[in-house]
Structure 1
Amino acid sequence: MKKSFDAYQLKAGDVIASIGAASGVWEIGLAGMQSGLTFYIQDIDEYSCNEEEVAYTKAYWERQIGRKINGTFYAVVGTPQKTNLPKDTFDKVLIINAFHEFQYQEVILLEIAQILKSTGKLIIEEEIALEQGQVHEGCGLPLFSETQLINLLDANQFALKTIVEKERYLKVFVFEKK
């Protein structure tokens, strides 16, 4: 998680959306490393993405680290084609190990361009296919190659800023709006 935290460059006062975040396990864990973050935890699954589950996740992390987490967390339920997140609000939008699962990737990218502030960053942490036709071990869906992912984002209003390699097959891509 430390490598992700460093790659995301989260700082106090950041307003962050995490799309495809379920109950916010990663996000609340990250907030335990930096106080003063506001997270909009978004998912299409209303059973995992709701205030009760987010509160449970926060309590779990507080037990793990032995102190209160100083952050604000909102659960937002979307649809496969709409995030239901407010426009021009976010310093950063995170997609952690979920982009390959999105049914309407281009539609969501267009919406992300609208919800990010003009100086905002889109950060995608994603397992990358090392060979053609490789699928995600957990969900069985096809993985992107690094080139496919970058080209898709480039065609949808985002320019690559940096890549942080966590493992040979796991990378953090930081994009800016064009």
Structure 2
Amino acid sequence: MKSALLALLNFCLFSISCFAQSINEKEILSLRNECVGVYFNSKEVLKKSWGKSLRFFDLKEGDKVADIGAKSMTFIGTLAVFYENIDFYCEDIDSACTTSKQAQKVIDFYSKIKGSPISCKFIPVIGTETSTTLPKNFFDKVIIDNSLHEFSEKVLMMKDINQILKKNGFLYLRESLGRTNGELHMGCNQALFDEAHLVSFITEQGFKFIKSEDSQIPTGAFLSKLFLFVKE
């Protein structure tokens, strides 16, 4: 009798665990179907997968940060698990996904992953192919998260990004790199920089290179790296 009850208890616990997991997977699938994006099922998995790379950004409480090419805003969601009280201006040309409604979904989801309410603000902003439409000399930091290679007007966009940063403001760049300059990205089929050409291009736009490191975050390319520049 005792062994039968124990077996029944174990079965019930297994069933509850599987049911909870299936609900979580359904929630993630539903969110991905709406605006794609990246969703982790626990903080532990997030820290193990991306944690070291997310710490590279070294954001400070009170920072005003622009994420250029934010779309679903899920990358900012992962950052907001580790950082507090930052104003994120989430810019993209996709008016269907870069919305207050989508921002709230990301905040709600990543608050559960964090285990406490997200304290950062998400402010969606619609830009154009040539302008972020963001205020000049306003931001402490700008992030371009794996979207530089998709800019149709790279020089004009970098000029605008330089202008929206404060003096001595920082530019954080995570980017897919090619083995050779011009190699096509396996996902979007856009031409990639190699590392030397990328650093050269950014410095030509009025930035000074500070450091780089390999990224833990996959991008569908041969190599993904993180870069830090400062506005000169």
- Give TM-score, length-normalised by structure 1: 0.94
Q: Any runs of at least 4 consecutive aligned residues in structure 1 with deviations exceeding 3 A, and if so which?
A: none
* Equivalent of residue 60 in structure 1, options 109, 120, 125: 109
Kept after mapping to 1: 8 A contact 2:180/2:193:
no
Instruction: Provide the residue aligned with 1:100 in structure 2.
Output: 149
Between Structure 1 and Structure 2, how many residues are aligned? 178
Instruction: Provide the residue aligned with 1:129 in structure 2.
Output: 178
CA separation in 1, counterparts of 2:145 and 2:62?
21
AA in 2 matched with 1:49 = T
* Equivalent of residue 73 in structure 1, options 122, 130, 152: 122
- Greater fraction of residues in strand: 1
AA in 2 matched with 1:136 = H
Q: Which runs of 5+ in 1 are unaligned?
A: none
1:64 Cα offset (Å): 2.3
CA separation in 1, counterparts of 2:57 and 2:111?
21
1:133 Cα offset (Å): 4.1
CA separation in 2, counterparts of 1:159 and 1:132?
21
Deviations 1:7-26 (A, max 9, x none): 11112111100000102101
Kept after mapping to 2: 8 A contact 1:23/1:41:
no
Residue 45 (str. 1) matches residue 99 (str. 2): no
Over the aligned positions, Cα root-mean-square deviation in angstroms equals 1.4
Pick 1 or 2: higher relative contact order, CA cutoff 8 A, min separation 6: 1
Q: Report which of the two structures shows the higher radius of gyration computed on alpha carbons.
A: 2
Instruction: Provide the residue aligned with 2:59 in structure 1.
Output: 10
CA separation in 2, counterparts of 1:156 and 1:81?
15
CA separation in 1, counterparts of 2:134 and 2:153?
16
The verdict on how the C-alpha distance between 1:93 and 1:132 changes in structure 2, with shifts beyond 3 A counting, is closer
Q: Identity rate of aligned residues, in percent?
A: 33
